[in-house]
Amino acid sequence: MELENINSDIMDRVVSEMNSYNYNSFSDEDIKEALNKDYLSVRDFQALLSPKAMNYLEEMAKKAKECRERYFGNSVYIFTPLYISNYCDNYCVYCGFNSHNKIKRARLDFEQIEAELKEIAKTGLEEILILTGESERYSSIEYIGEACKLARKYFNNVGIEIYPVNVEDYKYLNSCGVDYVTIFQETYNNEKYKKLHLEGHKKVFSYRFNSQERALIGNMRGVAFGALLGLDDFRKDAFSTGYHAYLLQKKYPHAEISISCPRLRPVINNIKIEEEFVSEKELFQIICAYRLFLPFANITISTRENSNFRDNVIKIAATKISAGVDTGIGAHSEHSNKKGDEQFEIADRRTVSEIFEKIKTESLQPVMNDYIYLKD
């Protein structure tokens, strides 16, 4: 596959701002000034991600909760991922699916995929995220497209988290029923990125960076962003993720924007990497800063986090939560019978019904779908 260049300046702008971001330069007055505003500037966002802002977590949480309620009410959106293949051509040293990792590989056929979809649909979920390892050989665009056509039979919202592709491929996948695309940049530090991604197309930092923009040009309704917090300087990665999303929202105002906030989790046969530890308090700070800087964006909280943290953060800043999650291949139906190993260990193993009921007990409204398709 030839890697397409769309001649966007957004990557250069993000990298430039990230490199000049000195989070130790902010004062108490900078934090207070940001918290007194209804809409944040880029500098205000930087201030709220700074170490100094850790002293203002209570104020940030209060403001984030008000913001969340203003734009999302008490709604919490629920979805689940479905992993259909764990073959991967990339060598990313932190990932359980990487091509050098000796794990049980599997790819579901279409009968198995449909069995998984039927089983998940029984839970009442109406949104699904289809995932594959990053291997064009084992998960071709046509294979993914057919899986998404099947998913559209059972779900109103279909997302994909696959390898980055060109604009025409995104248009094709959109025609197969895909609504949105999730891409994690992993880290926005290009030098660290090179050390972590040793083989495969994923080595090309710029091609991955521009994936969301290619997806929007390719008719996708929404795009999701994320850095894997802990791979590098997490404050700079959190800033870059938010700023990347902000710039694309300005350029494509019709797009639905979503942010994910995953931290590193243990994986099978994990190679020891130098990681930047991110505490729960620091993760909470990042999520509150995202909410205040991007008031209209969905914020997803991963099953990488424990149930208590997830339950608390959806009351304050996050708006979307996964449920009934398994990161293995063929984990939902007896027909598929857990054919492949997991990508990483999850911390919250609650079922869809358990999370649904928990949301209701917090006086929040669980939402399975908020999108209506009008047929010609």
| CATH at residue 202 | 3.20.20.70
Phi-psi group of 359: left, alpha or beta (phi > 0 → left; psi -120 to 50 → alpha; rest → beta): alpha
Q: Does residue 371 sit within a domain?
A: no
Least confident segment among 50-54, 152-156, 326-330, 355-359:
326-330
Q: Does residue 31 sit within a domain?
A: no
Q: Does residue 3 sit within a domain?
A: no
Q: Does residue 137 sit within a domain?
A: yes
- Largest Cα span, the chain: 60
Identify the helix (H) or strand (E) that includes residue 117: helix 110-121
Q: What are phi and psi of 135, to 5 degrees?
A: -140, 110
Give just the sign of the alpha carbon dihedral 118, 119, 121, 122: positive
Q: Does the global pTM surpass 0.85?
A: yes
Return the pLDDT at 267: 53
Does the pLDDT of residue 335 top 60, yes or no?
no
Q: What are phi and psi of 40, to 5 degrees?
A: -90, 145
Average the pLDDT over 74-95 and give the result. Answer: 90
Does the pLDDT of residue 342 top 90, yes or no?
no
Confidence tier at 367 by pLDDT (50, 70, 90): very high
How far apart (Å, rounded) are the C-alpha atoms in residues 310 and 315?
Answer: 9
Q: Does residue 175 sit within a domain?
A: yes
Strand partners, 182: 224
Return the pLDDT at 175: 98
Q: Does residue 26 sit within a domain?
A: no
Strand partners, 128: 80, 158
Q: Which domain holds residue 170?
A: 10-21+37-366
The count of domains in the chain is 1
Q: What is the pLDDT of residues 263-308, one digit of tens each?
A: 876 555 555 555 678 899 999 999 999 999 999 999 999 888 999 9
Q: Does residue 374 sit within a domain?
A: no
Q: Does residue 72 sit within a domain?
A: yes
Q: How does the average pLDDT of the chain come out, rounded?
A: 91
Strands annotated E in 115-178? 127-132, 157-161
Return the pLDDT at 369: 81
Average the pLDDT over 117-121 and give the result. Answer: 95
Confidence tier at 103 by pLDDT (50, 70, 90): confident
Q: Are 372 and 126 in contact (CB under 8 A)?
A: no
Does the pLDDT of residue 370 top 90, yes or no?
no
